[in-house]
């Protein structure tokens, strides 16, 4: 990273090594994040199809709120990457200070809005009376934790922008471990367990779906405190005790964050809105289809998280190269990261195809849910290489501060292709038709992102 900032020449081997060093912990961090969803789904799945459907009904809405918060954090962290690349470290720390206050204020408003709609949302999405109350409580609890999640997003993004992928990765893995522990205690009631011939009583709160939400919120909160504490007091580049500065958000900083974050936030809102529409399309098919859809989305997420990890590394590499004025490195890192993402995602697609039944079986004991989920996952596996291209190309463009055009590319692909095809095919093919539409759309999206990368960055 110092070679980028100092304008030193880098060999191909050095570029590949740096990409691998940044991508590996970023992939682990992304995998740990999605594993939290996998853990929630798998544990709640043991309670039955209705409990699983309750989480599946509101999961896309949670992504909507979380995506907006993530976009806001990125609006500040990209600025920090550019400033560190230009060796303007003190200015980078000032942006960090302002970001803490701005993000807390915004997410407090988001939390209030989320809680306000939590009772009505499951009904808006077409949920039945059997699952709506649980879904609403699950959504409300996670909305209360949104400010904590935002601090985890912000601190992790700042550390990654400085080139530190290791600490966010390790803390995200810890978050996974904590989530398992808290969920185990909060979801299930007190019960008798046997181990090595010894029977003992395992305490539990027996909160079911609500326990899954509380466990996730507690894990996110603890890790957010640790992540923010490390970034603010221990990071060499970001440590706020190195100098003085104001925490009051400045108009110029907010304006730059707006230009980066607004297209991303709009994209996340409308993309999640499209996912919510798809959930509403699937909901009338019944609890089995709704649970299979939710579990399949979670299972597939495990496969595409490596792409997002490489995309995070691409954002850091392109951001610092852009800040340092290194057009040569922007081009070469774009090729390296996008190529790596496509190869790894192709391999993950093979694993997804052959391991579909196993992955679904881990999350649900209901044979109908497992069979239907495995069938749709095998369709989706064919789209993974081009989906990887879209993910990493987007990371490249975010690192360059180029977020508006990619926003419209994502939205056009999702709303014009996936939704139209889903609505057209669901009547005759059910959930299979919805996932076939997804596969076609992701292939198209990857293609148009590769065309833009070739025309603008190579």
Q: Which pLDDT does position 344 carry in this prediction?
A: 92
Tokens standing for 118?
């939590």
Please report the pLDDT score of residue 38 as a whole number.
64
Q: In the prediction, which pLDDT does 29 show?
A: 67
What per-residue confidence (pLDDT) applies to 279? Answer: 80
Phi-psi domain of 108 (left: phi exceeds 0; alpha: psi -120 through 50; beta: other) = alpha
Judge whether residue 41 has pLDDT over 70: no
Average pLDDT, the chain: 88
Q: How far are the Cα atoms of 245, 260, 397, 424 from residue 92, in angstroms, in the given order?
A: 11, 16, 20, 49
- 390-401 per-position pLDDT tens digit: 999 999 999 998
pLDDT in tens, 211-220: 989 998 999 9
For residues 52 and 291, the answer to whether their CB atoms sit within 8 Å is yes
**235 to 16, 181, 396: CA distances (angstroms):** 25, 29, 25
Per-residue pLDDT at 183 exceeds 90: no
pLDDT at residue 294, as a whole number = 81
pLDDT in tens, 346-372: 999 999 999 999 989 877 788 899 999
Q: What per-residue confidence (pLDDT) applies to 196?
A: 66
Q: What is the mean pLDDT of residues 246-274?
A: 87
What's the CA gap between 121 and 272, in Å, rounded? Answer: 14
> Is the pLDDT score of 276 beyond 80?
no
- Mean pLDDT, residues 172-194 taken together: 85
For the cut 90, the answer to whether the pLDDT of residue 337 exceeds it is: yes
Over residues 143-168, the mean pLDDT reads 91
Task: Give the pLDDT score at 57.
Answer: 81
Instruction: State mean pLDDT over 367-384.
Output: 93
Q: For the range 14-17, what are the long-range contacts, defined as Cβ-Cβ under 8 Å and sequence gap of 24 or more?
A: 15/329, 15/332, 15/333, 15/336, 16/336
């Amino acid at each position: 990273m110092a070679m980028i900032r100092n304008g030193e020449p880098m060999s191909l081997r050095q570029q590949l090594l740096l990409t691998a060093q940044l991508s590996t912990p970023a992939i682990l961090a992304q995998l740990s994040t999605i594993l939290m969803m996998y853990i929630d789904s798998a544990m709640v799945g043991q309670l039955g199809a209705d409990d699983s459907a309750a989480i599946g009904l509101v999961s896309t809405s949670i992504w909507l709120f979380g995506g907006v918060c993530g976009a806001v954090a990125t609006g500040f962290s990209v600025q920090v990457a550019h400033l560190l690349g230009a060796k303007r470290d003190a200015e980078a720390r000032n942006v960090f200070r302002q970001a803490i206050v701005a993000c807390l204020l915004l997410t407090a408003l988001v939390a209030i809005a989320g809680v306000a709609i939590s009772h009505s949302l499951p009904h808006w999405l077409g949920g039945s009376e059997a699952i709506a109350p649980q879904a609403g409580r699950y959504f409300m609890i996670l909305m209360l934790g949104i400010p904590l999640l935002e601090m985890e997003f912000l601190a992790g993004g700042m550390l990654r922008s400085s080139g530190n992928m290791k600490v966010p990765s390790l803390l995200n893995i810890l978050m996974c471990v904590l989530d398992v522990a808290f969920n185990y205690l909060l979801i299930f009631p007190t019960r008798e367990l046997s181990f090595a011939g010894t029977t003992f009583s395992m305490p539990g709160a027996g909160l079911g779906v609500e326990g899954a939400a509380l466990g996730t919120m507690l894990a996110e909160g603890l890790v957010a405190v640790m992540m923010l504490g490390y970034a603010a007091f221990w990071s060499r580049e970001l440590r706020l005790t190195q100098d003085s500065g104001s925490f009051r958000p400045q108009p110029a900083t907010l304006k730059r964050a707006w230009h980066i974050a607004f297209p991303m936030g709009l994209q996340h809102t409308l993309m999640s809105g499209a996912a919510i529409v798809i959930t509403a399309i699937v909901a009338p098919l019944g609890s089995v289809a709704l649970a299979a859809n939710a579990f399949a989305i979670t299972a597939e997420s495990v496969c595409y998280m490596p792409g997002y990890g490489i995309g995070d590394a691409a954002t850091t590499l392109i951001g610092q190269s852009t800040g340092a004025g290194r057009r040569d490195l922007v081009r070469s890192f774009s090729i390296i990261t996008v190529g790596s993402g496509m190869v790894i995602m192709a391999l993950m697609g093979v694993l997804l195809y052959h391991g579909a039944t196993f992955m679904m079986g881990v999350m649900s004991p209901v044979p109908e849910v497992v069979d239907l989920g495995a069938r749709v996952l095998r369709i989706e596996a064919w789209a993974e290489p081009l989906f990887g291209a879209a993910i990493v190309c987007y990371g490249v463009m975010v690192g360059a501060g180029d977020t508006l055009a990619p926003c419209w590319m994502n939205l056009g692909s999702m709303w014009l292709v996936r939704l139209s095809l889903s609505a057209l095919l669901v009547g005759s093919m059910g959930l299979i038709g919805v996932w076939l539409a997804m596969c076609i759309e992701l292939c198209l999206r990857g293609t148009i992102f590769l065309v833009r990368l070739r025309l603008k960055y190579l």
